[in-house]
Structure 1
Amino acid sequence: MIQNLTDLSRKLNRGSLKSADLVQEALSRIADPAGQGDVVFLRSYPDAARAQADWIDAARAKGIALPPFAGVPLAIKDLFDVKGEVTTAGSRVLDDQPPATADAPIVARLRAAGFVIVGKNNMTEFAYSGLGINAHFGTPRNPHDQTAHRIPGGSSSGAAVAVAEGMVPAAIGTDTGGSCRIPAAFCGVVGFKPTSTRVPKDGTVPLSKSLDCIGPFANSVSDCAVLDSILSGGAGEDVESFPEGGLRLAVLDGYVTEHLDDAVAAAYEKMLTRLSSRGVRLMPLTIDELAELPKINGKGGLVGAEAYAWHKPFLESRAGFYDPWVRDRFSAGQSQTAEDYIRTVEARATMRALVARKTDAFDALILPTVQIVAPTLESLADPEKSAATNLLCLRNTAVGNFLDLPAISIPCHGEGALPVGAMLMGRTGGDRRLLSIARGLEGTIRGR
Structure 2
Amino acid sequence: MAHEMRGMTSLALVRAIAAGEISAREACLASVARIRASNPAINAFTRCCTARALREAEAIDARRARGERLPPLAGLPYAVKDLFDVAGEVTHAGSKLNRQHRPAAQDAFLVARIQAGGAVLLGRLNMDEYAYGFTTENTHYGATRNPHDLTRSAGGSSGGCGAAVAAGQVGMALGSDTNGSIRVPASFCGIWGLKPTFGRLSRRGSYPFVHSIDHLGPMADSVESLALAYDVLQAPDPLDPGCHALRVQPVGSALQQGIEGLRVGLLGGYFDEHATASARAAVRSAAQVLGANDQLAWPDAALGRAAAFIISASEGGSLHLQDLRTQVQEFEPLSVDRFIAGALLPAAWYLRAQRFRQSYRDQVNALFRHWDLLLAPATPVAAPVLGSEWLDINGTSMPTRASIGLLTQPISLAGCPVVAAPIWPTGTGGLPIAVQIIAAPWREDLALRAAWALQAAGCAHLKPVEI
1:393 is matched with: 404
1:260 is matched with: 275
Alignment counterpart, residue 121 of structure 1, candidates 122, 125, 147: 125
1:80 is matched with: 84
In structure 2, the residue corresponding to 1:373 is in which secondary structure?
A: coil
Q: Deviations over 1:75-103 (max 9, x none)?
A: 11100011111100111011111111111
Aligned length: 437
Report 1:359-438 matches (<5 A): 359-380=368-389, 388-414=399-425, 417-438=430-451
Where in structure 1 do 4 or more consecutive aligned residues deviate above 6 Å?
none
1:26 is matched with: 31
Deviation of 1:35 (Å): 4.5
- Please, which runs of 5 or more residues in structure 2 have no aligned partner? 1-5, 236-247, 462-467
In structure 2, the residue corresponding to 1:223 is in which secondary structure?
A: helix
Report 1:12-411 matches (<5 A): 12-32=17-37, 35-36=39-40, 39-145=43-149, 149-233=151-235, 238=252, 239-275=254-290, 280-287=291-298, 289-297=300-308, 300-380=309-389, 388-411=399-422
Deviation of 1:66 (Å): 3.9
Is the 2:130–2:209 Cα contact (8 Å) retained in structure 1? yes
Q: Please tell me the residue identity of whatever aligns with 2:389.
A: L
- Structure 1 residues 445, 359: closer, same or farther in 2, change over 3 A? farther
Is the 2:213–2:413 Cα contact (8 Å) retained in structure 1? yes
Distance 1:447 1:5 in 2: 17
Distance 2:60 2:259 in 1: 40
Q: Which moved more, 1:243-252 or 1:422-431?
A: 243-252
Deviation of 1:10 (Å): 2.2
Distance 2:305 2:13 in 1: 44
Distance 1:235 1:196 in 2: 15
- Structure 1 residues 398, 3: closer, same or farther in 2, change over 3 A? farther
- Structure 1 residues 375, 18: closer, same or farther in 2, change over 3 A? same
Deviation of 1:272 (Å): 2.9
Deviation of 1:268 (Å): 3.1
Deviation of 1:229 (Å): 1.1
Distance 1:333 1:347 in 2: 18
Distance 1:28 1:381 in 2: 37
Q: Deviations over 1:46-93 (max 9, x none)?
A: 222123323332332232444332222111110001111110011101
Is the 2:42–2:144 Cα contact (8 Å) retained in structure 1? no
Q: Which moved more, 1:263-272 or 1:98-107?
A: 263-272
Alignment counterpart, residue 440 of structure 1, candidates 434, 437, 453: 453
- Structure 1 residues 292, 53: closer, same or farther in 2, change over 3 A? closer
Q: Deviations over 1:89-147 (max 9, x none)?
A: 1110111111111111011111111111001011111110112211111112111225x
Considering only aligned residues, what root-mean-square deviation do their CA atoms show, in Å? 2.4
Distance 2:385 2:258 in 1: 39
Is the 2:11–2:222 Cα contact (8 Å) retained in structure 1? no
Deviation of 1:294 (Å): 4.6
Is the 1:92–1:321 Cα contact (8 Å) retained in structure 2? yes
Is the 1:274–1:447 Cα contact (8 Å) retained in structure 2? no
Q: Which moved more, 1:79-88 or 1:266-275?
A: 266-275
Question: Percent identity, aligned pairs only?
Answer: 33
Deviation of 1:237 (Å): 5.8
Q: Please tell me the residue identity of whatever aligns with 2:419.
A: I
Distance 1:267 1:308 in 2: 36
In structure 1, the residue corresponding to 2:12 is in which secondary structure?
A: helix
Distance 2:251 2:21 in 1: 22
- Structure 1 residues 258, 242: closer, same or farther in 2, change over 3 A? farther
In structure 2, the residue corresponding to 1:330 is in which secondary structure?
A: helix
Distance 1:244 1:231 in 2: 25
Q: Please tell me the residue identity of whatever aligns with 2:455.
A: E
Deviation of 1:175 (Å): 0.3
Deviation of 1:338 (Å): 2.7
In structure 2, the residue corresponding to 1:54 is in which secondary structure?
A: helix
Q: Deviations over 1:187-234 (max 9, x none)?
A: 011111001111110111100111111111111222111111111126
Distance 1:334 1:404 in 2: 24
- Structure 1 residues 302, 168: closer, same or farther in 2, change over 3 A? same
Deviation of 1:445 (Å): 7.0
Is the 1:30–1:37 Cα contact (8 Å) retained in structure 2? no
Deviation of 1:262 (Å): 3.2
Deviation of 1:246 (Å): 3.9
Q: Please tell me the residue identity of whatever aligns with 2:366.
A: R
In structure 1, the residue corresponding to 2:406 is in which secondary structure?
A: helix
Q: Please tell me the residue identity of whatever aligns with 2:282.
A: A
- Structure 1 residues 226, 2: closer, same or farther in 2, change over 3 A? farther
